[in-house]
Structure 1
Amino acid sequence: MQWKGLKLHVIIFSLLIGIALIFGAQWMYQKYNINGPINKVLSANQAVKSYQVSSEGGTLLVSVHINSEADLMVPYQEIRKDLEQVMGGKSFIFILSDDRDGTLEQVWYRCQYAVYQAQVQGSFVEMAEVINREALAGGSEANINIDQEYIYLRLRHQNHTLDEVIPRGAYHVAGNNWPAAGGGVNDQRN
């Protein structure tokens, strides 16, 4: 069949071949330049119990379950650093998965106020006391770590864990120049 001197079947066939090449190249790039290196780093990390890599709306989702015997802060930092190196400047979302039960969810529910208050006010000692008291009352164990960026909370109850990583500066809003924690003589408020 011809249309104004052009063979339509050749044009359609060429378009289909071009589309197949584009999607094939994208699949190869994803498999060998992203998924392969991610699988390599995560499977080499002893603290990783399991992981899942998926894509949603063009954003890569990396869900990682850290062994319940491991501390939370150090493996989280290592995994995050490794993923950032593998991904370069590409965007991804690092999701921390766990195997929480009802008891741990209740302990976390009762501790949230203290955690978010500490996030804003810097009252970390008080937060730790509340979390440890609530964990003990719930028959579970708490492990709390803090660095400049995050509050790391791991609750354990029987064979279950609840892992939460809370950004310390998440309360900042545009135009809010108040210090992240504490207070002092040199703090400036605009």
Structure 2
Amino acid sequence: MARKNINWVVGGLTLMLTLASLFGGQLLWNKYAVVNPINNAVQSIKGVESVAVSRLNEQGDSKNIKIYVKLAQVANLQKLYAELEEALKQVHRPQRYELVIQDSRTPELEQFYHSIHYSVQEAVFTGNFTAMAGSIAAKAGSAGVEAQTYVDTKNIYLQMTKGTNEMYVVVTRDSNRAGVQ
């Protein structure tokens, strides 16, 4: 009878020790194989103020990584974004990630973006980026906002500044839509 009780105790302790080892190993792997390399690669880029990495999304899915990058004042958002993507590609090749740019936006800058986002979406659909840039420049001048627009084959980059506050928006160009090549 005493031997049966010992087996249960030993089995329970073994189970708890195994679970603790697995959980601890997962935490260490996450820190040293995922978070630290991303932090080191991204933090070394000029214009990056801070980096935070999250493995869980809103649905509790840990397959995708969310990388929050707080930017200081940036001269060229397109160039910086390309540097970020290249650094992340070097460090974290197989896993999908979502890059979230954090800035010092104000309600006034958000309102300005709302006033131009129709032009941006129209340009994504039609490919008429010249009209988009002209529309943004005209609205920026009347709103007292300094706006810079960059376009490449994957994204549209909007950099809006008023005073010391900046707002950065990266809009993906969906190449599956009609009118966009």
Aligned to 2:81: 76
User: Could you give the per-residue CA deviations for residues 94-131 of structure 1, whole angstroms, max 9, x where no partner exists?
Assistant: 11111111221111011011100000101111101111
Aligned to 1:50: 50
Aligned to 1:25: 25
Moved over 2 A (4+): 1-6
Cα offset, 1:15, TM superposition: 0.2
Cα offset, 1:61, TM superposition: 1.3
Identity of aligned residues (%): 28
Unaligned runs of 5+ in 2: none
Secondary structure of the corresponding residue to residue 50 of structure 1: strand
* Distance (Å, rounded) in 2 between the aligned partners of 1:2 and 1:72: 71
TM-score under structure 1 length normalisation: 0.86
Q: Which amino acid aligns with 2:95?
A: K
User: Could you give the per-residue CA deviations for residues 65-90 of structure 1, whole angstroms, max 9, x where no partner exists?
Assistant: 22223310011111012112211211
Cα offset, 1:133, TM superposition: 1.2
Q: How many residues align?
A: 176
> CA 1:125–1:24 in 2, change beyond 3 Å: closer, same or farther?
same
Cα offset, 1:3, TM superposition: 8.1
* Distance (Å, rounded) in 1 between the aligned partners of 2:163 and 2:136: 17
Cα offset, 1:4, TM superposition: 5.8
TM-score under structure 2 length normalisation: 0.90
Aligned to 2:136: 131
* Distance (Å, rounded) in 1 between the aligned partners of 2:180 and 2:51: 33
Unaligned runs of 5+ in 1: 182-190
Q: Which amino acid aligns with 1:38?
A: I
Q: Is the 8 A contact 1:66 1:75 kept in 2?
A: no
> CA 1:3–1:125 in 2, change beyond 3 Å: closer, same or farther?
farther
Alignment of 1:11-22 (within 5 A): 11-22=11-22
Q: Is the 8 A contact 1:98 1:161 kept in 2?
A: yes
Q: Which has the higher helix share?
A: 2
Secondary structure of the corresponding residue to residue 45 of structure 1: coil
Q: Which amino acid aligns with 1:131?
A: I
